[in-house]
A = this chain, B = another copy of it.
Amino acid sequence: MKSRATERDQKHAVANLSNLYRIFTVPESPDSTLGQIDQEISQNLSGFLRDRIVATEQDLAVIEQDFSSPEIPEQPTFVSDYTDFLMDTLVAQSVHTASPGFVGHMASALPSFMLPLSRIMTALNQNLVKIETSKAFTPMERQVLGMLHALVFGNDNAYYQTWMHNRDSALGAFCSGGTLANITALWVARNNLFPARDGFRGIAREGLHRALRHYDCNDVAVLISERGHYSFGKAADLLGIGRDAIRAIPTDGRNRIDLGALQQTLRRLKRENSRIISLVGIAGTTETGNVDPLNSLADIAEEQGCHFHVDAAWGGPTLFSANHRHLLQGIERADSVTIDAHKQLYVPMGAGMVLFRNPASPSSIEHHAEYILRKGSKDLGSHTLEGSRPGTAMLVHSALNIIGRKGYELLIDQGIERAREFAGMIGTHPEFELVTEPELNLLTYRYVPARIQQALQRADTTRCSTINGHLDKLTKRIQKSQRAAGRSFVSRTRLSPQQFGDDTITVFRVVLANPLTTPKILGDMLEEQLQIAAGDERAQEILADLERQITD
Protein backbone atom coordinates (compact mmCIF):
# COMPACT_ATOMS: atom_id res chain seq x y z
CA MET A 1 0.00 0.00 0.00
CA LYS A 2 1.26 3.41 -0.90
CA SER A 3 0.58 5.83 1.94
CA ARG A 4 -1.27 8.89 0.85
CA ALA A 5 -0.57 10.62 4.14
CA THR A 6 0.60 14.18 3.76
CA GLU A 7 3.25 15.67 5.94
CA ARG A 8 0.60 17.21 8.14
CA ASP A 9 -1.04 13.86 8.61
CA GLN A 10 2.22 12.30 9.65
CA LYS A 11 2.19 14.51 12.69
CA HIS A 12 -1.06 12.94 13.75
CA ALA A 13 0.14 9.44 13.19
CA VAL A 14 2.33 7.29 15.42
CA ALA A 15 5.49 9.25 14.76
CA ASN A 16 6.55 9.78 18.32
CA LEU A 17 5.99 8.45 21.79
CA SER A 18 3.18 10.76 22.77
CA ASN A 19 1.21 9.83 19.67
CA LEU A 20 1.99 6.24 20.47
CA TYR A 21 0.38 6.62 23.88
CA ARG A 22 -2.59 8.25 22.26
CA ILE A 23 -3.37 5.33 20.00
CA PHE A 24 -3.59 3.10 23.07
CA THR A 25 -5.99 5.41 24.86
CA VAL A 26 -9.70 5.08 24.29
CA PRO A 27 -11.04 8.26 22.70
CA GLU A 28 -13.46 9.95 25.04
CA SER A 29 -15.93 11.35 22.62
CA PRO A 30 -17.82 10.09 19.59
CA ASP A 31 -16.81 13.38 17.91
CA SER A 32 -13.14 12.39 17.97
CA THR A 33 -11.46 11.63 14.65
CA LEU A 34 -11.64 7.96 15.42
CA GLY A 35 -15.31 8.28 16.33
CA GLN A 36 -15.94 9.87 12.95
CA ILE A 37 -14.03 7.17 11.12
CA ASP A 38 -16.08 4.64 13.02
CA GLN A 39 -19.32 6.26 11.81
CA GLU A 40 -18.11 6.41 8.22
CA ILE A 41 -17.12 2.77 8.26
CA SER A 42 -20.57 1.81 9.53
CA GLN A 43 -22.26 3.77 6.76
CA ASN A 44 -19.98 2.51 4.01
CA LEU A 45 -20.39 -1.04 5.17
CA SER A 46 -24.15 -0.95 5.12
CA GLY A 47 -23.89 0.36 1.56
CA PHE A 48 -21.61 -2.53 0.63
CA LEU A 49 -23.78 -5.07 2.35
CA ARG A 50 -26.86 -4.14 0.37
CA ASP A 51 -25.12 -4.51 -2.97
CA ARG A 52 -24.00 -7.35 -5.16
CA ILE A 53 -21.83 -10.34 -4.33
CA VAL A 54 -18.74 -8.69 -5.76
CA ALA A 55 -18.70 -5.03 -6.68
CA THR A 56 -16.78 -5.50 -9.90
CA GLU A 57 -15.35 -8.84 -10.82
CA GLN A 58 -11.64 -8.48 -11.08
CA ASP A 59 -9.03 -11.00 -11.90
CA LEU A 60 -7.16 -12.16 -8.80
CA ALA A 61 -3.87 -11.19 -10.45
CA VAL A 62 -5.07 -7.58 -10.62
CA ILE A 63 -6.12 -7.56 -6.98
CA GLU A 64 -2.77 -9.07 -6.01
CA GLN A 65 -1.06 -5.94 -7.29
CA ASP A 66 -2.55 -3.97 -4.40
CA PHE A 67 -0.99 -6.46 -2.01
CA SER A 68 2.37 -7.11 -3.57
CA SER A 69 4.92 -5.26 -1.45
CA PRO A 70 6.75 -7.26 1.21
CA GLU A 71 7.88 -4.06 2.92
CA ILE A 72 6.49 -3.03 6.26
CA PRO A 73 6.14 0.75 5.92
CA GLU A 74 8.89 2.55 7.77
CA GLN A 75 6.66 5.48 8.72
CA PRO A 76 3.26 5.23 10.34
CA THR A 77 0.11 5.82 8.31
CA PHE A 78 -2.81 8.01 9.30
CA VAL A 79 -5.86 5.91 10.23
CA SER A 80 -8.19 7.76 7.86
CA ASP A 81 -5.85 7.22 4.90
CA TYR A 82 -5.53 3.59 5.74
CA THR A 83 -9.31 3.22 6.05
CA ASP A 84 -9.74 4.76 2.59
CA PHE A 85 -7.25 2.24 1.25
CA LEU A 86 -9.18 -0.63 2.85
CA MET A 87 -12.48 0.57 1.43
CA ASP A 88 -11.07 1.02 -2.09
CA THR A 89 -9.06 -2.16 -2.38
CA LEU A 90 -10.16 -4.71 0.18
CA VAL A 91 -13.82 -4.07 0.89
CA ALA A 92 -14.62 -3.35 -2.75
CA GLN A 93 -13.11 -6.70 -3.74
CA SER A 94 -14.50 -8.87 -0.98
CA VAL A 95 -17.16 -11.48 -1.39
CA HIS A 96 -20.57 -10.57 -0.07
CA THR A 97 -21.18 -13.89 1.65
CA ALA A 98 -24.35 -12.51 3.28
CA SER A 99 -26.05 -11.80 -0.03
CA PRO A 100 -29.28 -13.76 -0.59
CA GLY A 101 -27.86 -14.85 -3.95
CA PHE A 102 -24.77 -16.36 -2.34
CA VAL A 103 -25.98 -19.94 -1.93
CA GLY A 104 -22.81 -21.82 -2.86
CA HIS A 105 -21.16 -22.38 0.50
CA MET A 106 -21.98 -22.81 4.15
CA ALA A 107 -21.80 -19.07 4.72
CA SER A 108 -24.89 -17.05 5.37
CA ALA A 109 -26.28 -13.73 6.42
CA LEU A 110 -25.14 -12.47 9.80
CA PRO A 111 -27.78 -11.12 12.20
CA SER A 112 -27.12 -7.40 12.42
CA PHE A 113 -26.97 -7.41 16.23
CA MET A 114 -23.66 -9.25 15.82
CA LEU A 115 -21.95 -6.00 14.84
CA PRO A 116 -22.47 -4.02 18.07
CA LEU A 117 -22.03 -7.13 20.22
CA SER A 118 -18.78 -8.10 18.50
CA ARG A 119 -17.44 -4.74 19.53
CA ILE A 120 -17.75 -5.81 23.18
CA MET A 121 -15.72 -8.90 22.43
CA THR A 122 -13.02 -7.00 20.57
CA ALA A 123 -12.76 -4.18 23.10
CA LEU A 124 -12.49 -6.48 26.12
CA ASN A 125 -9.94 -8.63 24.25
CA GLN A 126 -10.19 -11.48 26.74
CA ASN A 127 -8.04 -14.57 26.41
CA LEU A 128 -10.04 -17.69 27.20
CA VAL A 129 -7.04 -19.93 27.81
CA LYS A 130 -7.12 -18.97 31.49
CA ILE A 131 -9.39 -17.30 34.03
CA GLU A 132 -6.81 -14.64 34.90
CA THR A 133 -7.39 -13.12 31.44
CA SER A 134 -11.06 -13.92 30.98
CA LYS A 135 -12.88 -14.06 34.34
CA ALA A 136 -16.66 -14.04 33.60
CA PHE A 137 -16.05 -15.18 30.02
CA THR A 138 -14.94 -18.56 31.39
CA PRO A 139 -18.25 -19.45 33.09
CA MET A 140 -20.07 -18.02 30.07
CA GLU A 141 -18.21 -20.31 27.68
CA ARG A 142 -18.87 -23.25 29.98
CA GLN A 143 -22.55 -22.36 29.92
CA VAL A 144 -22.60 -22.22 26.11
CA LEU A 145 -21.02 -25.68 26.00
CA GLY A 146 -23.61 -26.81 28.55
CA MET A 147 -26.52 -25.40 26.54
CA LEU A 148 -25.46 -27.19 23.38
CA HIS A 149 -24.63 -30.33 25.35
CA ALA A 150 -28.20 -30.24 26.67
CA LEU A 151 -29.54 -29.73 23.13
CA VAL A 152 -27.66 -32.81 21.91
CA PHE A 153 -27.63 -35.15 24.91
CA GLY A 154 -30.63 -33.83 26.84
CA ASN A 155 -29.56 -34.61 30.39
CA ASP A 156 -31.56 -33.12 33.25
CA ASN A 157 -30.87 -29.88 35.06
CA ALA A 158 -29.24 -31.64 38.03
CA TYR A 159 -26.69 -33.17 35.67
CA TYR A 160 -25.64 -29.75 34.42
CA GLN A 161 -25.52 -28.30 37.91
CA THR A 162 -22.96 -31.01 38.69
CA TRP A 163 -20.87 -30.87 35.52
CA MET A 164 -21.16 -27.51 33.80
CA HIS A 165 -18.72 -25.67 36.06
CA ASN A 166 -16.82 -28.69 37.32
CA ARG A 167 -13.09 -28.02 37.55
CA ASP A 168 -11.94 -31.53 36.72
CA SER A 169 -13.86 -32.17 33.54
CA ALA A 170 -15.28 -30.58 30.43
CA LEU A 171 -18.60 -30.98 28.63
CA GLY A 172 -16.79 -29.91 25.48
CA ALA A 173 -14.14 -27.71 23.97
CA PHE A 174 -14.70 -24.44 22.17
CA CYS A 175 -12.46 -23.83 19.16
CA SER A 176 -12.11 -21.80 16.00
CA GLY A 177 -14.09 -24.20 13.83
CA GLY A 178 -15.32 -27.65 12.90
CA THR A 179 -11.93 -28.86 11.67
CA LEU A 180 -10.34 -28.31 15.08
CA ALA A 181 -13.45 -29.83 16.69
CA ASN A 182 -13.15 -33.02 14.62
CA ILE A 183 -9.40 -33.20 15.27
CA THR A 184 -9.99 -32.79 19.00
CA ALA A 185 -12.61 -35.54 19.00
CA LEU A 186 -10.30 -38.02 17.26
CA TRP A 187 -7.41 -37.00 19.52
CA VAL A 188 -9.52 -37.77 22.59
CA ALA A 189 -10.70 -41.05 21.03
CA ARG A 190 -7.16 -42.11 20.10
CA ASN A 191 -5.83 -41.36 23.57
CA ASN A 192 -8.71 -43.15 25.29
CA LEU A 193 -8.10 -46.22 23.13
CA PHE A 194 -4.53 -46.52 24.41
CA PRO A 195 -4.58 -45.37 28.04
CA ALA A 196 -1.87 -45.90 30.61
CA ARG A 197 -1.79 -49.29 32.30
CA ASP A 198 0.79 -51.55 33.91
CA GLY A 199 4.05 -51.13 32.00
CA PHE A 200 2.71 -48.39 29.71
CA ARG A 201 2.34 -44.71 30.49
CA GLY A 202 -0.32 -44.06 27.84
CA ILE A 203 -0.12 -42.97 24.20
CA ALA A 204 -0.08 -39.26 25.17
CA ARG A 205 3.34 -39.83 26.74
CA GLU A 206 4.79 -42.76 24.82
CA GLY A 207 3.46 -42.22 21.30
CA LEU A 208 1.61 -44.31 18.74
CA HIS A 209 4.41 -46.74 17.90
CA ARG A 210 4.78 -47.84 21.52
CA ALA A 211 1.01 -47.93 22.01
CA LEU A 212 0.57 -50.36 19.11
CA ARG A 213 3.38 -52.53 20.43
CA HIS A 214 2.10 -52.52 23.98
CA TYR A 215 -1.50 -53.20 22.98
CA ASP A 216 -0.31 -55.80 20.50
CA CYS A 217 -2.11 -54.57 17.42
CA ASN A 218 -0.95 -53.86 13.88
CA ASP A 219 -2.79 -50.74 12.99
CA VAL A 220 -5.64 -48.35 13.73
CA ALA A 221 -8.58 -47.09 11.71
CA VAL A 222 -11.21 -44.38 11.56
CA LEU A 223 -14.42 -45.44 9.85
CA ILE A 224 -16.43 -42.84 7.99
CA SER A 225 -18.42 -42.71 4.77
CA GLU A 226 -16.85 -41.47 1.56
CA ARG A 227 -18.89 -38.29 2.02
CA GLY A 228 -16.87 -37.42 5.17
CA HIS A 229 -15.41 -33.93 5.46
CA TYR A 230 -11.80 -33.49 4.36
CA SER A 231 -10.80 -32.54 7.91
CA PHE A 232 -10.79 -36.22 8.86
CA GLY A 233 -7.97 -36.95 6.43
CA LYS A 234 -6.09 -33.96 7.82
CA ALA A 235 -6.73 -35.20 11.36
CA ALA A 236 -5.39 -38.65 10.51
CA ASP A 237 -2.21 -37.13 9.09
CA LEU A 238 -1.77 -34.80 12.06
CA LEU A 239 -2.44 -37.51 14.67
CA GLY A 240 0.29 -39.68 13.19
CA ILE A 241 -2.01 -42.53 12.19
CA GLY A 242 -1.78 -41.61 8.48
CA ARG A 243 -4.46 -40.74 5.95
CA ASP A 244 -4.76 -44.38 4.90
CA ALA A 245 -6.19 -45.08 8.36
CA ILE A 246 -9.36 -43.37 7.20
CA ARG A 247 -11.44 -46.19 5.80
CA ALA A 248 -13.90 -44.51 3.48
CA ILE A 249 -17.07 -46.59 3.44
CA PRO A 250 -19.23 -46.45 0.29
CA THR A 251 -22.63 -44.75 0.49
CA ASP A 252 -26.10 -45.75 -0.59
CA GLY A 253 -28.28 -43.96 -3.13
CA ARG A 254 -28.93 -41.17 -0.64
CA ASN A 255 -25.30 -40.49 0.31
CA ARG A 256 -25.60 -42.36 3.59
CA ILE A 257 -23.05 -44.82 4.86
CA ASP A 258 -23.69 -48.35 3.50
CA LEU A 259 -24.07 -50.52 6.59
CA GLY A 260 -23.31 -53.74 4.71
CA ALA A 261 -20.05 -52.33 3.42
CA LEU A 262 -19.26 -51.08 6.92
CA GLN A 263 -19.71 -54.62 8.33
CA GLN A 264 -17.34 -55.95 5.68
CA THR A 265 -14.70 -53.43 6.65
CA LEU A 266 -15.16 -54.28 10.32
CA ARG A 267 -14.49 -57.96 9.56
CA ARG A 268 -11.41 -57.01 7.55
CA LEU A 269 -10.05 -54.87 10.39
CA LYS A 270 -10.47 -57.79 12.77
CA ARG A 271 -8.54 -60.10 10.47
CA GLU A 272 -5.83 -57.45 10.12
CA ASN A 273 -5.65 -57.01 13.91
CA SER A 274 -6.45 -53.28 13.60
CA ARG A 275 -8.13 -51.29 16.35
CA ILE A 276 -10.88 -48.75 15.73
CA ILE A 277 -10.16 -45.24 16.98
CA SER A 278 -13.61 -44.04 16.04
CA LEU A 279 -16.66 -44.82 14.01
CA VAL A 280 -17.90 -41.50 12.60
CA GLY A 281 -21.45 -40.62 11.62
CA ILE A 282 -22.26 -37.52 9.60
CA ALA A 283 -25.24 -35.30 10.35
CA GLY A 284 -25.30 -33.13 7.25
CA THR A 285 -22.67 -34.12 4.69
CA THR A 286 -20.72 -31.13 3.41
CA GLU A 287 -21.53 -31.68 -0.24
CA THR A 288 -25.05 -33.08 -0.14
CA GLY A 289 -26.49 -32.43 3.33
CA ASN A 290 -27.42 -36.02 4.13
CA VAL A 291 -27.58 -37.68 7.53
CA ASP A 292 -26.16 -41.13 8.30
CA PRO A 293 -28.36 -43.63 10.17
CA LEU A 294 -27.03 -42.56 13.55
CA ASN A 295 -28.91 -45.11 15.65
CA SER A 296 -27.60 -48.02 13.60
CA LEU A 297 -24.10 -46.61 13.84
CA ALA A 298 -24.49 -46.23 17.61
CA ASP A 299 -25.52 -49.90 17.80
CA ILE A 300 -22.44 -50.93 15.83
CA ALA A 301 -20.11 -48.75 17.93
CA GLU A 302 -21.59 -50.32 21.07
CA GLU A 303 -21.06 -53.81 19.68
CA GLN A 304 -17.47 -52.96 18.73
CA GLY A 305 -16.84 -51.15 22.00
CA CYS A 306 -15.42 -48.19 20.06
CA HIS A 307 -15.71 -44.43 20.19
CA PHE A 308 -18.65 -43.00 18.22
CA HIS A 309 -18.19 -39.47 16.88
CA VAL A 310 -20.86 -37.50 15.02
CA ASP A 311 -19.83 -34.68 12.73
CA ALA A 312 -22.85 -32.38 13.02
CA ALA A 313 -20.87 -29.27 12.08
CA TRP A 314 -23.61 -28.40 9.63
CA GLY A 315 -26.66 -30.37 10.71
CA GLY A 316 -26.51 -30.01 14.51
CA PRO A 317 -28.92 -27.07 14.76
CA THR A 318 -31.58 -29.22 13.06
CA LEU A 319 -32.19 -30.36 16.64
CA PHE A 320 -33.95 -27.02 17.22
CA SER A 321 -36.74 -28.04 14.88
CA ALA A 322 -39.61 -30.12 16.24
CA ASN A 323 -40.40 -31.10 12.64
CA HIS A 324 -36.96 -32.30 11.62
CA ARG A 325 -35.00 -33.26 14.72
CA HIS A 326 -36.00 -36.91 14.23
CA LEU A 327 -33.54 -37.00 11.31
CA LEU A 328 -30.71 -36.90 13.86
CA GLN A 329 -32.07 -39.64 16.11
CA GLY A 330 -29.21 -41.50 17.76
CA ILE A 331 -26.94 -38.45 18.00
CA GLU A 332 -27.53 -38.52 21.76
CA ARG A 333 -25.68 -41.85 21.86
CA ALA A 334 -22.50 -40.38 20.38
CA ASP A 335 -19.35 -40.09 22.50
CA SER A 336 -18.50 -36.79 20.86
CA VAL A 337 -20.30 -34.36 18.57
CA THR A 338 -18.97 -31.49 16.44
CA ILE A 339 -21.14 -28.39 15.96
CA ASP A 340 -20.07 -25.27 14.10
CA ALA A 341 -21.49 -22.04 15.45
CA HIS A 342 -20.39 -20.01 12.43
CA LYS A 343 -22.64 -22.13 10.25
CA GLN A 344 -26.26 -22.64 11.30
CA LEU A 345 -25.99 -20.80 14.61
CA TYR A 346 -25.36 -17.63 12.54
CA VAL A 347 -22.33 -16.45 14.50
CA PRO A 348 -19.35 -14.72 12.82
CA MET A 349 -16.54 -16.84 11.41
CA GLY A 350 -14.29 -18.58 13.91
CA ALA A 351 -16.58 -20.51 16.26
CA GLY A 352 -16.82 -24.28 16.59
CA MET A 353 -17.35 -26.79 19.36
CA VAL A 354 -16.87 -30.42 20.20
CA LEU A 355 -19.15 -31.82 22.89
CA PHE A 356 -18.44 -34.94 24.96
CA ARG A 357 -21.20 -37.18 26.27
CA ASN A 358 -18.95 -38.17 29.17
CA PRO A 359 -17.32 -35.07 30.66
CA ALA A 360 -14.42 -37.23 31.88
CA SER A 361 -13.39 -38.32 28.39
CA PRO A 362 -11.30 -35.24 27.46
CA SER A 363 -9.09 -35.89 30.48
CA SER A 364 -7.05 -38.03 28.08
CA ILE A 365 -5.79 -34.84 26.40
CA GLU A 366 -5.40 -32.77 29.58
CA HIS A 367 -2.24 -30.70 29.91
CA HIS A 368 -0.77 -28.32 32.44
CA ALA A 369 1.88 -25.64 32.80
CA GLU A 370 3.54 -23.88 35.70
CA TYR A 371 2.26 -20.38 35.05
CA ILE A 372 -1.32 -21.23 33.99
CA LEU A 373 -3.58 -24.30 33.61
CA ARG A 374 -2.43 -25.52 37.00
CA LYS A 375 -4.04 -28.72 38.25
CA GLY A 376 -7.35 -27.95 39.95
CA SER A 377 -7.78 -24.62 38.17
CA LYS A 378 -10.84 -23.96 36.03
CA ASP A 379 -8.72 -22.61 33.18
CA LEU A 380 -10.41 -23.70 29.96
CA GLY A 381 -7.07 -24.10 28.16
CA SER A 382 -6.24 -27.40 29.80
CA HIS A 383 -8.59 -29.31 27.47
CA THR A 384 -8.27 -27.36 24.20
CA LEU A 385 -6.13 -27.84 21.15
CA GLU A 386 -5.60 -24.09 20.85
CA GLY A 387 -3.82 -22.01 23.46
CA SER A 388 -4.70 -18.31 23.63
CA ARG A 389 -8.03 -17.68 21.95
CA PRO A 390 -10.77 -15.04 21.88
CA GLY A 391 -14.08 -14.94 23.71
CA THR A 392 -16.17 -15.91 20.68
CA ALA A 393 -18.40 -18.07 22.88
CA MET A 394 -19.96 -14.76 23.93
CA LEU A 395 -21.43 -14.38 20.45
CA VAL A 396 -22.89 -17.88 20.58
CA HIS A 397 -24.42 -17.00 23.93
CA SER A 398 -25.88 -13.87 22.35
CA ALA A 399 -27.34 -15.68 19.38
CA LEU A 400 -28.88 -18.44 21.49
CA ASN A 401 -30.56 -15.86 23.72
CA ILE A 402 -31.60 -13.31 21.13
CA ILE A 403 -32.81 -15.75 18.48
CA GLY A 404 -34.07 -18.37 20.92
CA ARG A 405 -35.04 -21.96 20.22
CA LYS A 406 -38.13 -20.87 18.29
CA GLY A 407 -36.19 -18.48 16.11
CA TYR A 408 -33.73 -21.21 15.17
CA GLU A 409 -36.62 -23.56 14.49
CA LEU A 410 -38.05 -21.07 12.01
CA LEU A 411 -34.65 -20.74 10.30
CA ILE A 412 -34.12 -24.49 10.03
CA ASP A 413 -37.65 -25.23 8.87
CA GLN A 414 -37.51 -22.52 6.26
CA GLY A 415 -34.14 -23.65 4.88
CA ILE A 416 -35.39 -27.20 4.40
CA GLU A 417 -38.67 -25.97 2.92
CA ARG A 418 -36.80 -23.69 0.51
CA ALA A 419 -34.53 -26.56 -0.57
CA ARG A 420 -37.58 -28.70 -1.34
CA GLU A 421 -39.15 -25.90 -3.37
CA PHE A 422 -35.94 -25.40 -5.31
CA ALA A 423 -35.62 -29.14 -5.91
CA GLY A 424 -39.15 -29.00 -7.32
CA MET A 425 -38.22 -26.14 -9.64
CA ILE A 426 -35.18 -28.07 -10.90
CA GLY A 427 -37.02 -31.37 -11.19
CA THR A 428 -39.79 -29.95 -13.33
CA HIS A 429 -37.50 -27.87 -15.55
CA PRO A 430 -36.71 -29.70 -18.81
CA GLU A 431 -33.12 -28.39 -19.00
CA PHE A 432 -31.96 -29.16 -15.45
CA GLU A 433 -31.28 -32.40 -13.69
CA LEU A 434 -31.53 -32.80 -9.92
CA VAL A 435 -28.58 -34.95 -8.86
CA THR A 436 -29.07 -35.22 -5.09
CA GLU A 437 -32.44 -34.60 -3.42
CA PRO A 438 -32.38 -32.35 -0.34
CA GLU A 439 -32.68 -34.16 2.99
CA LEU A 440 -31.66 -31.07 4.96
CA ASN A 441 -31.13 -27.77 3.12
CA LEU A 442 -28.52 -28.79 0.51
CA LEU A 443 -28.97 -30.12 -2.97
CA THR A 444 -26.91 -30.65 -6.12
CA TYR A 445 -27.96 -30.44 -9.74
CA ARG A 446 -26.65 -29.72 -13.19
CA TYR A 447 -27.68 -28.18 -16.45
CA VAL A 448 -28.40 -30.80 -19.09
CA PRO A 449 -30.30 -29.77 -22.26
CA ALA A 450 -33.41 -31.93 -22.79
CA ARG A 451 -32.01 -33.57 -25.94
CA ILE A 452 -28.90 -34.63 -24.05
CA GLN A 453 -30.99 -36.01 -21.19
CA GLN A 454 -32.81 -38.21 -23.67
CA ALA A 455 -29.55 -39.30 -25.27
CA LEU A 456 -28.13 -40.23 -21.85
CA GLN A 457 -31.11 -42.50 -21.24
CA ARG A 458 -30.46 -44.41 -24.47
CA ALA A 459 -26.67 -44.49 -24.27
CA ASP A 460 -24.49 -47.38 -23.11
CA THR A 461 -21.96 -46.98 -20.27
CA THR A 462 -19.06 -45.83 -22.44
CA ARG A 463 -21.14 -43.28 -24.31
CA CYS A 464 -22.62 -42.05 -21.01
CA SER A 465 -19.13 -41.47 -19.63
CA THR A 466 -18.15 -39.48 -22.71
CA ILE A 467 -21.26 -37.33 -22.51
CA ASN A 468 -20.78 -36.81 -18.77
CA GLY A 469 -17.22 -35.71 -19.42
CA HIS A 470 -18.49 -32.95 -21.69
CA LEU A 471 -21.24 -32.03 -19.24
CA ASP A 472 -18.59 -31.68 -16.51
CA LYS A 473 -16.82 -29.05 -18.58
CA LEU A 474 -20.10 -27.26 -19.18
CA THR A 475 -21.01 -27.24 -15.48
CA LYS A 476 -17.58 -25.89 -14.57
CA ARG A 477 -17.83 -23.19 -17.23
CA ILE A 478 -21.30 -22.05 -16.17
CA GLN A 479 -20.32 -22.01 -12.49
CA LYS A 480 -17.24 -19.90 -13.16
CA SER A 481 -19.09 -17.44 -15.43
CA GLN A 482 -21.88 -17.00 -12.94
CA ARG A 483 -19.39 -16.44 -10.11
CA ALA A 484 -17.58 -13.88 -12.24
CA ALA A 485 -20.77 -11.98 -13.07
CA GLY A 486 -21.30 -11.50 -9.35
CA ARG A 487 -25.08 -11.56 -9.16
CA SER A 488 -25.41 -15.01 -7.62
CA PHE A 489 -23.13 -17.83 -6.59
CA VAL A 490 -23.40 -21.61 -6.51
CA SER A 491 -20.39 -23.79 -5.81
CA ARG A 492 -19.44 -26.95 -7.65
CA THR A 493 -18.15 -30.32 -6.55
CA ARG A 494 -17.59 -33.80 -7.91
CA LEU A 495 -19.78 -36.71 -6.83
CA SER A 496 -20.29 -40.36 -7.77
CA PRO A 497 -24.03 -40.74 -7.30
CA GLN A 498 -25.31 -44.31 -7.39
CA GLN A 499 -27.62 -43.65 -10.36
CA PHE A 500 -24.59 -42.70 -12.47
CA GLY A 501 -22.87 -46.06 -12.12
CA ASP A 502 -19.12 -45.67 -11.83
CA ASP A 503 -19.05 -42.13 -13.21
CA THR A 504 -17.89 -39.22 -11.12
CA ILE A 505 -19.67 -36.09 -12.28
CA THR A 506 -19.38 -32.37 -11.67
CA VAL A 507 -22.45 -30.72 -10.16
CA PHE A 508 -23.69 -27.39 -8.90
CA ARG A 509 -23.96 -27.39 -5.11
CA VAL A 510 -26.49 -25.22 -3.31
CA VAL A 511 -26.76 -24.50 0.42
CA LEU A 512 -29.97 -22.76 1.54
CA ALA A 513 -29.49 -21.24 4.97
CA ASN A 514 -29.97 -17.55 4.29
CA PRO A 515 -33.51 -16.58 5.27
CA LEU A 516 -33.42 -13.76 2.73
CA THR A 517 -33.05 -16.16 -0.23
CA THR A 518 -36.48 -16.15 -1.88
CA PRO A 519 -37.85 -18.56 -4.53
CA LYS A 520 -37.70 -15.61 -6.94
CA ILE A 521 -33.93 -15.30 -6.39
CA LEU A 522 -33.51 -19.03 -7.01
CA GLY A 523 -35.60 -18.84 -10.18
CA ASP A 524 -33.49 -15.96 -11.45
CA MET A 525 -30.38 -17.95 -10.71
CA LEU A 526 -31.54 -20.83 -12.93
CA GLU A 527 -32.51 -18.30 -15.60
CA GLU A 528 -29.01 -16.79 -15.48
CA GLN A 529 -27.48 -20.25 -15.92
CA LEU A 530 -29.61 -20.84 -18.98
CA GLN A 531 -28.49 -17.49 -20.38
CA ILE A 532 -24.84 -18.36 -19.79
CA ALA A 533 -25.33 -21.70 -21.54
CA ALA A 534 -26.95 -19.89 -24.47
CA GLY A 535 -24.68 -16.86 -24.64
CA ASP A 536 -21.20 -17.78 -23.45
CA GLU A 537 -18.83 -18.64 -26.28
CA ARG A 538 -16.99 -21.45 -24.52
CA ALA A 539 -20.27 -22.94 -23.29
CA GLN A 540 -21.52 -22.92 -26.87
CA GLU A 541 -18.44 -24.81 -28.02
CA ILE A 542 -18.96 -27.49 -25.38
CA LEU A 543 -22.62 -27.77 -26.32
CA ALA A 544 -21.67 -28.16 -29.97
CA ASP A 545 -19.31 -31.01 -29.02
CA LEU A 546 -22.16 -32.58 -27.09
CA GLU A 547 -24.49 -32.33 -30.07
CA ARG A 548 -21.89 -34.10 -32.21
CA GLN A 549 -21.65 -36.85 -29.61
CA ILE A 550 -25.31 -37.63 -29.61
CA THR A 551 -25.76 -37.43 -33.37
CA ASP A 552 -22.66 -39.53 -34.18
Q: How far is the CA of A521 from the CA of B24 in the complex (A)?
A: 16
Q: Given A54-B135, A368-B230, A515-B21, decide whether A206 and B76 contact each other with a Cβ distance below 8 A.
A: no
Residues of B contacting A388 in the complex (Cβ-Cβ under 8 angstroms): 106, 177-179, 340, 342, 349-350
Q: How far is the CA of A246 from the CA of B491 in the complex (A)?
A: 44
A15 at the interface (CB under 8 A from B): yes
Residues of B contacting A241 in the complex (Cβ-Cβ under 8 angstroms): 207-208, 240
Q: How far is the CA of A183 from the CA of B127 in the complex (A)?
A: 19
Q: Given A124-B94, A147-B70, A177-B387, decide whether A244 and B60 contact each other with a Cβ distance below 8 A.
A: no
Nearest Cβ distance between residue A244 and chain B, in whole angstroms?
5
Residues of B contacting A233 in the complex (Cβ-Cβ under 8 angstroms): 367
A542 at the interface (CB under 8 A from B): no
A70 & B348 in contact (Cβ 8 Å cutoff): no
Q: How far is the CA of A145 from the CA of B511 in the complex (A)?
A: 32
B165 & A390 in contact (Cβ 8 Å cutoff): no
Which of A78-86, A448-456, A462-470 binds B? A78-86
Q: How far is the CA of A329 from the CA of B391 in the complex (A)?
A: 36
Taken residue by residue from 198 to 224, chain A's Cβ proximity to chain B (1 for < 8 Å, 0 otherwise) reads as 000101111111101000000110000
Taken residue by residue from 110 to 142, chain A's Cβ proximity to chain B (1 for < 8 Å, 0 otherwise) reads as 111111111110111111001111111111101
A window 160-179: CB within 8 A of B: 160-161, 164-165, 176-179
Nearest Cβ distance between residue A180 and chain B, in whole angstroms?
6
Taken residue by residue from 478 to 498, chain A's Cβ proximity to chain B (1 for < 8 Å, 0 otherwise) reads as 000001000001011111000
Q: Nearest 6 A-B pairs (CB), nearest first?
A: A240-B240, A207-B242, A179-B387, A93-B136, A371-B493, A70-B160
Give the contacting residue for A176; candidates B54, B178, B201, B386; CB below 8 A.
B386
B41 & A116 in contact (Cβ 8 Å cutoff): yes
Q: Given A38-B119, A176-B350, A178-B387, decide whether A242 and B204 contact each other with a Cβ distance below 8 A.
A: yes
B210 & A242 in contact (Cβ 8 Å cutoff): yes
A363 at the interface (CB under 8 A from B): no
Q: How far is the CA of A130 from the CA of B400 in the complex (A)?
A: 28
A398 at the interface (CB under 8 A from B): yes
B165 & A237 in contact (Cβ 8 Å cutoff): no
A window 327-353: CB within 8 A of B: 340, 342, 348-350
Residues of B contacting A120 in the complex (Cβ-Cβ under 8 angstroms): 41, 45, 86, 90-91
Which of A255-263, A289-297, A405-413 binds B? A405-413
A264 at the interface (CB under 8 A from B): no
Q: How far is the CA of A277 from the CA of B75 in the complex (A)?
A: 40
Residues of B contacting A20 in the complex (Cβ-Cβ under 8 angstroms): 407, 410-411, 515
Give the contacting residue for A26; candidates B112, B236, B287, B371; CB below 8 A.
B112
A window 91-108: CB within 8 A of B: 91-98, 104-107
A459 at the interface (CB under 8 A from B): no
Count class of interface residues, chain A: 35 or more
A251 at the interface (CB under 8 A from B): no
Q: How far is the CA of A368 from the CA of B493 in the complex (A)?
A: 12
B127 & A118 in contact (Cβ 8 Å cutoff): no
B207 & A112 in contact (Cβ 8 Å cutoff): no
A370 at the interface (CB under 8 A from B): yes
Residues of B contacting A30 in the complex (Cβ-Cβ under 8 angstroms): 39, 42-43
B117 & A348 in contact (Cβ 8 Å cutoff): no
A109 & B24 in contact (Cβ 8 Å cutoff): yes
Q: Given A114-B122, A238-B385, decide whether A132 and B205 contact each other with a Cβ distance below 8 A.
A: no
Taken residue by residue from 364 to 408, chain A's Cβ proximity to chain B (1 for < 8 Å, 0 otherwise) reads as 010111111100001000000111111110100010111111110
A516 & B70 in contact (Cβ 8 Å cutoff): no
A265 at the interface (CB under 8 A from B): no
Which of A149-157, A302-310, A421-429, A524-532 binds B? A149-157
A461 at the interface (CB under 8 A from B): no
Q: How far is the CA of A23 from the CA of B89 in the complex (A)?
A: 28
Residues of B contacting A406 in the complex (Cβ-Cβ under 8 angstroms): 14-15, 74-76
Name A387's closest neighbour in chain B (CB-CB). Answer: B179
